[in-house]
Chain A
């Protein structure tokens, strides 16, 4: 068992007829993921790539196809609404790729979905991949924008706020012949649906996951929170890396959430929290996989 999504998870795509959503829905299909529906209001009844039915609402897509996960690719002004529509339709896992959603919209979304049975990943995230056993890890479940072929089915869990830095870690593992159970990008925004800690808990419970790479960056205190829990509850080897040691305070480093403000959220404090929790810290991003393999 991987976490959150399995090879047979049925996925719908909100915004499947947009260029971004369409491109990645196609890549997921090529990877062998079960993309069972698309949603674009006003285009219900059409099909995507001659095989995926398009619906006007998420509710219809769910009831007709049994999709349990959604990938959201709609533009920022409409993304909060899209997330709430998916939650209202009872989708278990909502993955929001959209970058640039106003923070206020996410504050309202988070308050609204608090207590619901749906889990939100993102926004502003690369998504989630559970690698399959086919060629180039095909046959797995790819929701989002990560390159599928860099993965390999295996036993390492990867969780990160950053896209390309996740790919870097995954590729380092795959190049060393080591596969991944599931790779989760939780996104770079200050208010998101799933934290490092949420994912770490799932990896800890997952019998298939034998080691974890946790990638964080400056801003907030989510990494510290995860570290404190790991110290008490996680017996699996965990390697951590924090990006942004050289970032100037008060500046947003690309990600809306990557900012050191008022002396809070520094890389130093996070690295210290990792060390205190017994997490092995990769000194450079080049040695994330190597550090984990040594520990195992």
Chain B
């Protein structure tokens, strides 16, 4: 699960990480009062940031034509004026796609005077099965790009989960970032606290980009997390009710939310051939084989190991709510499940949804002959696929013919 920047900063601050002071708001009145308070505390410059689960906000454009999802403001009036142009509007960035995302929340925070920018992240190293901290002096840049072009600029430190991050490891990162000598201690402490945030919240990623060396009005320097992104391991949400409450359904595709209610694993894609499969690996392979025969998959859909009639019907309904779908391929390997039960589910779902587009079904496994007979005798136009290849070829052909 992804959370917003302001929520990530709340979690970081709770673990002792220095973040710019500020607050989120959803109304103009709140924007005004946060701005009044921060200016009242002596801030001269505030930053207003659109809160959506996508990067590239600063360079994004609102559908209204208003430029940029991040703005610097010198007065409360200016904050209110910019907030008005952003709240409720749809922001399009390089990561959102053309659809964009509606901005419902803004983060208003002190705009730090930035001296230099770094990159800091904690994630899982799948090769070792342990957390790894990555840091680079190239802040604000895409870490993948840095890793490819200048790998020597990245400091990597693997952490033993039983020991946690040791002070020497945190210092190694601080020194690797070339922070001023008097800030090595503070930086090391921040790095350790970022690691602790990762570990204690069951995060799959904590990314601070940029981590900044900042300076206040008196010339005093400090280290501060100016932007933050956190993703939480879905499997662990059951033990983090506070974080689960941060879920923003507005950031998720409506069909995917609907699918999750029926324990269906659905991901919408851009193609025209929908698929309904049992098992994640087989579902991916089914998408691939559609592509191999010249079609394009409309979705990933895993109905799981023991799909019920209700789940199959819900799956059909979800698939059919995608207007791009021109045909359906059902691929079931009924190892433990009975193919006749699945066949009944398919027939019921096709009737209930008054299916009017080509449907190819490939069944294999327990009671497959009875299952095929049920499909044949249903009176519905269901095309039988004998193998995965045969089924994929048939649905691609059927969709082309009907187009």
User: In B191-224, which residues have CB < 8 Å from any A CB?
Assistant: 199, 202, 204
Please name all residues of chain B whose beta carbon is closer than 8 Å to the beta carbon of A190 when the two chains form the complex: 124, 126
Q: Pick the contact of A246 from B131, B160, B204, B288 — CB < 8 Å? A: B288
Please name all residues of chain A whose beta carbon is closer than 8 Å to the beta carbon of B233 when the two chains form the complex: 102-104, 256
Q: Pick the contact of A218 from B265, B279, B284 — CB < 8 Å? A: B284
Q: How many A-B residue pairs have CB under 8 A?
A: 169
A146 and B202 alpha carbons, distance in the complex (Å): 31
Binds B, one of A39-47, A50-58, A247-255, A272-280: A247-255
Most A CB contacts (10 A, CB to CB) among B162, B202, B281, B283 go to B281
Nearest residue, chain A, Cβ from B336: A147
A177 within 8 A of B: no
A237 within 8 A of B: no
A73 within 8 A of B: no
How big is the B interface, by class?
Answer: 35 or more
Q: Is the pair A251, B333 in contact by a Cβ cutoff of 8 Å?
A: no
A101 and B124 alpha carbons, distance in the complex (Å): 15
A110 and B267 alpha carbons, distance in the complex (Å): 31
Nearest residue, chain B, Cβ from A250: B95
Task: Convert A86-124 into 0s and 1s, putting 1 for each residue whose CB lies closer than 8 angstroms to a CB of B.
Answer: 000000000000001111101110111000000000000
Q: Is the pair B202, A285 in contact by a Cβ cutoff of 8 Å?
A: no
B65 within 8 A of A: no
A242 and B38 alpha carbons, distance in the complex (Å): 54
Q: Is the pair B281, A160 in contact by a Cβ cutoff of 8 Å?
A: yes
Please name all residues of chain A whose beta carbon is closer than 8 Å to the beta carbon of B143 when the two chains form the complex: 262
CB distance from B246 to the nearest CB of A (A): 17
Q: Pick the contact of B236 from A104, A220, A246 — CB < 8 Å? A: A104
Nearest residue, chain A, Cβ from B293: A284
B161 within 8 A of A: yes
Nearest residue, chain A, Cβ from B281: A162
Please name all residues of chain A whose beta carbon is closer than 8 Å to the beta carbon of B278 when the two chains form the complex: 164
A257 within 8 A of B: yes
Q: Is the pair A168, B129 in contact by a Cβ cutoff of 8 Å?
A: no
Nearest residue, chain B, Cβ from A215: B281
Nearest residue, chain A, Cβ from B130: A107
Q: Is the pair B129, A107 in contact by a Cβ cutoff of 8 Å?
A: yes
A133 within 8 A of B: no
Nearest residue, chain B, Cβ from A265: B126
Nearest residue, chain B, Cβ from A244: B284
Nearest residue, chain B, Cβ from A185: B281
User: In A115-141, which residues have CB < 8 Å from any B CB?
Assistant: none
Q: Is the pair A254, B283 in contact by a Cβ cutoff of 8 Å?
A: yes
A243 and B290 alpha carbons, distance in the complex (Å): 12
A92 and B58 alpha carbons, distance in the complex (Å): 55
Q: Pick the contact of B162 from A104, A111, A247, A258 — CB < 8 Å? A: A111
A27 within 8 A of B: yes
Task: Convert B281-303 into 0s and 1s, putting 1 for each residue whose CB lies closer than 8 angstroms to a CB of A.
Answer: 11111111111100001001010
CB distance from A270 to the nearest CB of B (A): 13
A286 within 8 A of B: yes
A188 within 8 A of B: yes
B127 within 8 A of A: yes
User: In B261-319, which residues have CB < 8 Å from any A CB?
Assistant: 265, 267, 269, 277-292, 297, 300, 302, 305
Q: Is the pair B161, A255 in contact by a Cβ cutoff of 8 Å?
A: no
CB distance from B120 to the nearest CB of A (A): 15
Please name all residues of chain A whose beta carbon is closer than 8 Å to the beta carbon of B283 when the two chains form the complex: 253-254
Task: Convert A5-34 into 0s and 1s, putting 1 for each residue whose CB lies closer than 8 angstroms to a CB of B.
Answer: 000000000000000000000010000000
CB distance from A192 to the nearest CB of B (A): 8
Task: Convert A227-254 into 0s and 1s, putting 1 for each residue whose CB lies closer than 8 angstroms to a CB of B.
Answer: 0000000000000010111111001011
CB distance from B388 to the nearest CB of A (A): 4
Task: Convert B245-272 into 0s and 1s, putting 1 for each residue whose CB lies closer than 8 angstroms to a CB of A.
Answer: 0000000000000000000010101000
Q: Is the pair B333, A254 in contact by a Cβ cutoff of 8 Å?
A: no
A102 and B265 alpha carbons, distance in the complex (Å): 18
B364 within 8 A of A: yes
Nearest residue, chain B, Cβ from A254: B280
Q: Pick the contact of A253 from B202, B267, B390 — CB < 8 Å? A: B267
Please name all residues of chain B whose beta carbon is closer than 8 Å to the beta carbon of A217 when the two chains form the complex: 281, 284
Closest 8 pairs between A and B when the two form their complex, measured CB to CB: A162-B281, A254-B280, A164-B279, A147-B335, A286-B389, A102-B236, A165-B281, A164-B282
Cross-chain pairs A/B with CB under 8 angstroms, 19 sampled: A100-B235, A102-B239, A106-B129, A107-B131, A164-B278, A164-B282, A165-B281, A168-B285, A221-B127, A225-B127, A243-B281, A248-B269, A251-B267, A254-B284, A256-B233, A258-B280, A258-B281, A284-B288, A285-B285
A contact residues vs B (CB 8 Å cutoff): 27, 76-77, 100-104, 106-108, 110-112, 145-147, 150, 160-168, 171, 188, 190-191, 215, 217-222, 225, 241, 243-248, 251, 253-258, 262-263, 267, 283-287
Q: A103-B124, A147-B365, A285-B289 are in contact. List 6 more A-B contacts (CB 8 A).
A: A104-B202, A107-B130, A165-B279, A168-B285, A246-B287, A286-B289
